Structure 1
Amino acid sequence: MQKRSCLIFAATCLLSGGAPAAEDNQLLIGGGVAVEARYAGSDRNKAAPLVVLDYTHASGFFASTLRGVGYGGQDGPVSYSAALGYRGGRKDKDQHSLFGNTGSNELKGMGEIKGNPSAVLGLGFKPLPMLELTLSADLPLSHRENGKTLHAGIGAQLLRGGPDNVSLALAAGFADNNYLQTYHGVTAAQAATSGFSAYRPRGGLYEASTMLTWEHSFDARWSATTMLGATQLLRDASRSPLTKRKTNPTAGFYVSYAY
């Protein structure tokens, strides 16, 4: 992934959707498949394994393949978290890996974007039991030219009861100039080697996303989760010469076991 995708954002919200009781430790193990665009604006999709390893300690410490390593808690209607995560890079050629094809030959000459560790900060507020407002920031700790992002979202529980839990999440993404230039821009040097026209986008609102999530519990430990959504590129990101498709579909499915 070149960024924290709509799918990972939804899975993260699902796994962190409430602080554990003081005496609870939980380990969630699961696996499935995810489908999303090769890069933001690509008209080609990739399928990759979705690995879920998520440990939460009663103290609030967590270690997760989706959430990173950090600490989270809840005080009344307010929830918070801080984690060390990783933002993947982007190749300028097709590359096969364990986690699906990455990069694209369509980006030939654009050069490689290096991945970076990030500080991922989250804040949530529940004005109503079935409604939550969220903020999530991704701040690079290396390769700071990759830029910062902020996502503001709202999540609603459409169905909660019995074995099924259905929720809908909407989010708007904002980014600084560095992020837009790195992932959606074309420098003069890149234009000379890639054939794309030089393009310098401005920071600000750059995407909107939606995700519908259905979690079905077979019993107290086994469950299956299905996610369907889309990300719409906006403003300067949608006008980039790299953008071949403004709306990128996203889907995922995994089965998990809670210890």
Structure 2
Amino acid sequence: MNKNNLAAIVLLACAACAQAEDNVLTFGAGIAGAARYSGADDYVIGPLLAIDYQMANGFYASTLRGIGYGGAVGPVYLSAALGYRGERSEKDRSGIGGASGSPALRGMGDVKGSATAVLGASWDIVDGLALEWHAELPVSKRENGRQIGVGLTGTLYQQARDHVTLSLAANIADRDYMQTYYGVTATQSARSGYRQYRPKGGLYEVELGMTWKHMIDTRWGVTGTLSAVALTRDAANSPITKRPRSAAGAVYATYSF
């Protein structure tokens, strides 16, 4: 799937931004679909598999969230983790997490994956409405650039077993990030046939998402998520952007103990 693999926006049932009272291990499995890469005009569907271990003291290890720590400071929840930003291939390279590229990128070369420092914060403005912020800073392959995002998440419906939320987010990137994922260098242009393109940093993506979590019992849960993504400004005008608007979705089950 695209570089912002759907797994990155899917949180396991136990992995909400709150410190658990006990240590909780969660296994998740399901199916997910998203554009092959950011700006692609075709989609790929693949399995979604995840493991998340949340400790009562705030430390966690997760295939989705990375390895890190989160805790509350007054009304604000803060987190910091070591994560991984996936690769983007110039070929249709498939794996257990879905495709990581597209033949439409032939000649663009591969964008290598990188370790990242992921910082986050969430503030409950009022009950059921949270202001959120995150930053993704590469630790390796720093030339791939940095990205930050801000958003709002609100609860639309909540009962004992069901929780429905709606979120709106905007993502901003520096010039290096934009060049890596939406730009075309002279060398890439000669190899791929795309015109040269040097995008500027700034707002590049907005996203609207909805999530419904249903708890079957205290251990089993089912979650469905659907999002609409729109590239903006220089990202939307990139030669490799075939379609600036796309959708992503997933349905998965979780078991916690």
Q: What TM-score comes out, normalization by structure 2 length?
A: 0.96
User: Among 165, 168, 174, which residue is 2:166 paired with?
Assistant: 168
Are the structure 2 counterparts of residues 252 and 217 from structure 1 closer, same or farther at C-alpha, using a change threshold of 3 Å? same
**Cα deviation digits, residues 146-167 of structure 1 (max 9, x gap):** 0000000100011111211000
Look up the match of 1:221: 219
In structure 1, list runs of 5 or more residues that go unmatched.
Answer: none
User: Among 83, 86, 99, which residue is 1:85 paired with?
Assistant: 83
What is the alpha-carbon distance in structure 1 between the residues aligned to residue 125 and residue 96 of structure 2? 42
Quick check: 1:213–1:227 contact (8 Å CA) kept in 2? yes
User: Among 25, 28, 45, which residue is 2:26 paired with?
Assistant: 28
**Cα deviation digits, residues 205-255 of structure 1 (max 9, x gap):** 000011100001111111100001111000000000001111110000110
Aligned residues: percent identity? 46
| SS, match of residue 94 in structure 2 | coil
Amino acid at match of 2:63: T
Quick check: 1:7–1:211 contact (8 Å CA) kept in 2? no
The yes-or-no answer on 1:136 pairing with 2:134 is yes
Quick check: 2:19–2:57 contact (8 Å CA) kept in 1? no
Look up the match of 1:100: 98
In structure 2, list runs of 5 or more residues that go unmatched.
Answer: none
Look up the match of 1:230: 228
What is the alpha-carbon distance in structure 2 between the residues aligned to residue 30 and residue 180 of structure 1? 32
Shift of 1:75: 2.5
What is the alpha-carbon distance in structure 2 between the residues aligned to residue 5 and residue 102 of structure 1? 9
Look up the match of 1:204: 202
Quick check: 2:6–2:32 contact (8 Å CA) kept in 1? no
**Cα deviation digits, residues 172-224 of structure 1 (max 9, x gap):** 00000000000000001100110000000000000001110000111111110
- Range with greater deviation from structure 2 (6-15 or 68-77): 6-15
Shift of 1:93: 1.1
Shift of 1:16: 2.5
User: Among 243, 247, 250, which residue is 1:249 paired with?
Assistant: 247
Shift of 1:7: 5.4
What is the alpha-carbon distance in structure 1 between the residues aligned to residue 6 and residue 230 of structure 2? 10
Amino acid at match of 2:251: F
Q: What TM-score comes out, normalization by structure 1 length?
A: 0.95
Shift of 1:11: 2.3
| SS, match of residue 73 in structure 1 | strand
What is the alpha-carbon distance in structure 2 between the residues aligned to residue 76 and residue 12 of structure 1? 24
What RMSD, in angstroms, separates the aligned Cα atoms of the two structures? 1.5
What is the alpha-carbon distance in structure 2 between the residues aligned to residue 13 and residue 4 of structure 1? 20
What is the alpha-carbon distance in structure 1 between the residues aligned to residue 113 and residue 199 of structure 2? 21
Amino acid at match of 1:110: M
Question: How many residues are paired up?
Answer: 257
Are the structure 2 counterparts of residues 57 and 7 from structure 1 closer, same or farther at C-alpha, using a change threshold of 3 Å? closer
Quick check: 2:215–2:222 contact (8 Å CA) kept in 1? yes
What is the alpha-carbon distance in structure 1 between the residues aligned to residue 255 and residue 107 of structure 2? 44
Are the structure 2 counterparts of residues 14 and 41 from structure 1 closer, same or farther at C-alpha, using a change threshold of 3 Å? farther
Are the structure 2 counterparts of residues 150 and 6 from structure 1 closer, same or farther at C-alpha, using a change threshold of 3 Å? farther
- Range with greater deviation from structure 2 (96-105 or 77-86): 96-105
Quick check: 1:41–1:247 contact (8 Å CA) kept in 2? yes
Look up the match of 1:55: 53
Look up the match of 2:63: 65
| SS, match of residue 176 in structure 2 | helix
Are the structure 2 counterparts of residues 257 and 93 from structure 1 closer, same or farther at C-alpha, using a change threshold of 3 Å? same
Look up the match of 1:4: 4
What is the alpha-carbon distance in structure 2 between the residues aligned to residue 16 and residue 68 of structure 1? 14
What is the alpha-carbon distance in structure 2 between the residues aligned to residue 245 and residue 88 of structure 1? 21
